[in-house]
């Protein structure tokens, strides 16, 4: 989808009776023929009347540079759902909150599949990557194992671990205030490795390698599947699977050895899996790769968590009035004579509202991850607008466009944390933003990630007054902050020295 030629047509179908009339079907068939000839053709069906949009003005020059803005423009012009045809594939993009709730959440079981990714999902991972696995028995068993360990109550077990490492962000700023992003990434990386295996040492798995393999179309075999059966094709990819299998198995065996040594080891995902292996009906290979998926997803989540933390801090620097309101609440609840902990979370709904609004204001995943429909999906957005998404369609929930839905988020380009607060001063339970994805494919580690972002934001805003460096650009992360200590350095170091620690 990176070149103009890949977009053969942009079609928005509104079907009030959920049926395509015969004359419309004829027109659609003709449109397909025109598309095959390389002609861009748009079709809109409005109130059972057909309107033709020849030479549809696609902003092709802008798509490559800022695709999320281009898609947002299409959503604004054509409606909450748009269809793009790329070669012979249908891609539906959902760009409004209500449509995302009704389709991605309400009909989640029909959009829980993934498009086939032969390299990333089959060759490199042996079909055992939960993030890319098709919706079926193996996915359900692996998802059940993850969810049992990462539900909100279970995720609380990682809070001491998160507090043990988050103080290093504050201490790192004291020693090197110009390198905030490094401090945040280090925090996220150490916590995810410890959470996965109870280890402090880094993994040798490389993020850029896996990200490249996950990119649709990065390998020819993703478009021509039979190439994988040629004995000379993809030898390096197959060796990559063997290396990954050894890596994940070695991590699992290390945890086994620690458990057998009768040491009092910290909670970890792999420890939980080995202690409860009979409950999930997983093979050892599946358990090893599930641990690798936990770590791999954590590696992606590590970058996402670090970007989320920096995004919230950027919002704090950009909106001083809102930051002052949050800080006043911190001073009232915590004061400056002790360091904050998770115990304070229930007393700080305003801080959580500020975090939620910052991640809506600048959503970290602007475009979303692909889903695929397994059944024909229907959506009734209003009395006049009915949509049908055929089985086998790739579906994206576009986070940026959803975040700009003015019907749900009035003045969407402004930061307004108060929108997340109810009349009683608590957090609203009827408003959401899909930071971690949709439906049955939402990130299972979201509750751990939420806590990481919360405790890091809490500690930094409590310890520092931060502003943006006026000499540096701030629109694109990482931006440069200037920090002013709110607590004398010696007192701050002393309080953090007595902060909870996990060995």
| Domain total of the chain | 1
Cβ atoms 296, 205 nearer than 8 A = yes
Angle at 442 between CA 147 and CA 113, to 5 degrees: 100
CA dihedral sign, ordered 278, 284, 287, 288: positive
Q: Give the model confidence (pLDDT) of 166-223 as tens digits.
A: 999 999 999 999 888 889 888 888 888 888 888 876 443 334 444 444 455 567 777 7
Least confident of 35-49, 135-149, 173-187: 35-49
Q: Give 92's strand partners.
A: 83, 395
Q: Give 371's strand partners.
A: 395
Q: Is residue 105 part of a domain?
A: yes
Give the pLDDT of residue 375. Answer: 80
SS3 320: helix
Give the confidence band of 263 by pLDDT, cuts at 50, 70, 90. Answer: confident
State the residue range of the domain holding 188: 96-497
- Looking up tokens 């930071």 gives 435
Separation between Cα atoms, residue 273 and residue 294, nearest integer Å: 12
| Residue 387 reports pLDDT greater than 80 | no
Give the pLDDT of residue 478. Answer: 63
Residues ≥6 apart with Cβ < 8 Å to 402: 94, 95, 96, 97, 100, 433, 434
Instruction: Pick 438 or 29 by higher pLDDT.
Output: 438
Average pLDDT, the chain: 78
| Residue 245 reports pLDDT greater than 60 | yes
**Radius of gyration of the chain, Cα coordinates, nearest whole angstrom:** 24
Q: Is position 388 annotated in a ligand binding site?
A: no
Give the confidence band of 467 by pLDDT, cuts at 50, 70, 90. Answer: confident
Express as a percent the part of the chain with pLDDT over 90: 34
Q: Is residue 474 part of a domain?
A: yes
Token representation of residue 163: 């507090």
Least confident of 260-264, 295-299, 470-474: 295-299
DSSP string covering 216-253: TTSSGGGTSGGGGGSTTTTHHHHHHHHHHHHHHHHHHH
Token representation of residue 83: 């269809």
Q: Is residue 65 part of a domain?
A: no
Q: Give the model confidence (pLDDT) of 413-423 as tens digits.
A: 999 999 999 99
Q: What CATH number does the domain containing 122 carry?
A: 1.10.630.10
Q: Is residue 66 part of a domain?
A: no
| Residue 65 reports pLDDT greater than 60 | no
Q: Is residue 391 part of a domain?
A: yes
- Looking up tokens 């990954």 gives 244
Give the pLDDT of residue 302. Answer: 58
Separation between Cα atoms, residue 24 and residue 365, nearest integer Å: 36
Neighbours of 64 (CB within 10 A): 12
Residues ≥6 apart with Cβ < 8 Å to 477: 181, 307, 310, 311, 314
Give the confidence band of 408 by pLDDT, cuts at 50, 70, 90. Answer: very high
Mean pLDDT in residue range 37-60? 27
Angle at 353 between CA 165 and CA 452, to 5 degrees: 15
Mean pLDDT in residue range 123-147? 86
Token representation of residue 77: 């012009």
Give the pLDDT of residue 173. Answer: 94
| Residue 8 reports pLDDT greater than 60 | no
SS3 349: helix
Question: In sequence order, what E strands does 298-380 have?
Answer: 371-372, 377-380
Q: Is residue 88 part of a domain?
A: no
Instruction: Pick 430 or 303 by higher pLDDT.
Output: 430
Q: Is residue 465 part of a domain?
A: yes
Q: Is residue 415 part of a domain?
A: yes
Pairing of strands 81-86, 386-389: unpaired
Residues ≥6 apart with Cβ < 8 Å to 411: none
Give the pLDDT of residue 7. Answer: 29
HSE-up (13 A, CA, CB side) for residue 163 = 20
Q: Give the model confidence (pLDDT) of 80-110 as tens digits.
A: 998 887 767 788 999 999 999 999 998 888 9
Instruction: Pick 286 or 127 by higher pLDDT.
Output: 286
CA dihedral sign, ordered 261, 267, 272, 273: negative
Give the pLDDT of residue 12. Answer: 31
Cβ atoms 282, 141 nearer than 8 A = yes
SS3 66: coil
Separation between Cα atoms, residue 402 and residue 80, nearest integer Å: 9
Token representation of residue 420: 């997340």
Q: Give 485's strand partners.
A: 464
| Residue 491 reports pLDDT greater than 60 | yes
Mean pLDDT in residue range 253-258? 91
Q: Give the model confidence (pLDDT) of 311-331 as tens digits.
A: 999 999 999 999 999 999 999
């Amino acid at each position: 989808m990176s070149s103009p030629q890949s977009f053969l047509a942009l079609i928005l179908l509104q079907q009030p009776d959920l049926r395509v009339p015969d004359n419309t079907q004829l027109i659609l068939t003709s449109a397909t023929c025109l598309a095959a000839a390389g002609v861009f053709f748009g079709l809109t069906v409005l109130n059972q009347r057909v309107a033709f949009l020849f030479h549809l003005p696609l902003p092709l020059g802008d798509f490559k540079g800022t695709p999320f803005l281009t898609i947002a423009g299409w959503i604004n012009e054509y409606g909450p759902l748009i269809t793009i045809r790329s070669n012979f594939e249908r891609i539906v993009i959902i760009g409004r909150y209500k449509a995302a709730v009704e389709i991605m959440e309400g009909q989640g079981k029909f959009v829980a599949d993934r498009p086939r990714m032969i390299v990333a999902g089959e060759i490199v991972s042996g079909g055992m990557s939960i993030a890319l696995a098709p919706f079926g028995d193996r996915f359900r068993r692996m998802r059940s194992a993850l969810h049992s360990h990462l539900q909100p109550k279970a995720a609380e077990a990682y809070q001491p671990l998160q507090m043990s490492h988050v103080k290093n962000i504050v201490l790192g700023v004291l020693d090197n205030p110009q390198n905030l992003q490094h401090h945040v990434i280090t925090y996220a990386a150490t916590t995810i490795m410890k959470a996965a295996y109870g280890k402090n040492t880094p993994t040798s798995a490389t993020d850029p390698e896996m990200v490249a393999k996950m990119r649709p179309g990065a390998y020819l075999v993703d478009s021509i599947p039979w190439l994988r059966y040629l004995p000379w094709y993809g030898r390096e990819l197959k060796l990559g699977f063997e290396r990954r299998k050894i890596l994940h198995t070695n991590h699992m065996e290390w945890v086994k050895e620690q458990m057998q040594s009768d040491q009092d080891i910290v909670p970890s995902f792999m420890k939980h899996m080995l202690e409860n292996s009979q409950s999930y009906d997983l093979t050892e290979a599946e358990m090893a790769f599930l641990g690798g998926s936990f770590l791999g997803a954590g590696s992606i989540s590590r970058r996402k968590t670090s970007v989320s933390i920096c995004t919230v801090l950027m919002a704090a620097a950009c909106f001083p009035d809102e930051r002052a309101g949050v800080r006043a609440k911190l001073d009232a609840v915590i004061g400056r004579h002790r360091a904050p902990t998770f115990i304070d979370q229930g007393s700080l709904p305003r801080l959580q509202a500020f975090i939620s609004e910052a991640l809506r204001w600048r959503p970290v995943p602007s475009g979303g991850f692909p889903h695929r429909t397994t059944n024909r999906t229907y959506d009734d957005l209003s009395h006049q607008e009915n949509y049908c998404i055929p089985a086998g369609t790739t579906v994206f929930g576009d986070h940026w466009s959803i975040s700009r839905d003015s019907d749900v988020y009035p003045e969407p380009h402004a930061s307004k944390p108060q929108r997340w607060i109810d009349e009683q001063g608590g957090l609203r339970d009827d408003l959401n933003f899909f930071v971690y994805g949709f439906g049955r494919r939402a990130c299972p580690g979201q509750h751990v990630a939420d806590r990481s972002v919360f405790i890091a934001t809490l500690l930094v805003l409590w310890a520092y007054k931060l502003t943006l460096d006026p000499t540096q650009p701030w629109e694109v992360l990482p931006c440069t902050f200037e920090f002013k200590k709110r607590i004398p350095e010696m007192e701050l170091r002393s309080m953090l020295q007595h902060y909870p620690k996990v060995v």
